[in-house]
Amino acid sequence: MAEETIFSKIIRKEIPADILYQDDLVTAFRDINPRAPSHILIIPNKLIPTVNDVEADDERMLGRLFTVARQLAEQEGVSENGYRLIMNCNPHGGQEVYHIHMHLLGGRPLGPMLVG
């Protein structure tokens, strides 16, 4: 069994977060340490630790991450200028929280994809 992270508590509303969207499959909330004017995390409600743990049965839920990203990008007013979606995996990918999440970043030019 994968170990729960702070994100499971956010999904269950046991700890506060600025939740922008929630349905039966996914939850979206503002990142506590925003790296851009809009920095939102979109996560499956089911605990999947890393992208390495994704299974075919998860496809519908993972597709929902993208439709919610599109809706929230519109809501944030960043659709036209553009934004970046990022999923980090394991230490080399810079993953800190082991509950998969899509970062939606926008609201300013984000520069080159990788720095350093």
Please report, as ranges, the residues that interact with ligand 5GP according to CB under 6 A.
Answer: 6, 17, 29-33, 41, 88, 94-97
Bridge partners (DSSP) of residue 40 are 30, 104
CB of 11 vs ligand 5GP, minimal distance in Å: 11
CB of 48 vs ligand 5GP, minimal distance in Å: 13
CB of 76 vs ligand 5GP, minimal distance in Å: 16
**Residue in 39, 92, 99, 101 annotated catalytic:** 101
How many other β-carbons are positioned within 10 Å of the β-carbon of residue 51? 14
Q: Which is nearer to ligand 5GP, 79 or 88 (CB)?
A: 88
> Within the chain, where are the H helices?
6-11, 59-76, 90-93
Q: Which is nearer to ligand 5GP, 17 or 26 (CB)?
A: 17
Q: Which is nearer to ligand 5GP, 31 or 58 (CB)?
A: 31
Q: Which CA distances in Å does 72 have to 40, 44, 88, 92?
A: 9, 15, 20, 28
Bridge partners (DSSP) of residue 28 are 21, 42
CA distance 69 to 82: 12
* 92 assigned to active site: no
Q: Which residues are catalytic?
A: 101
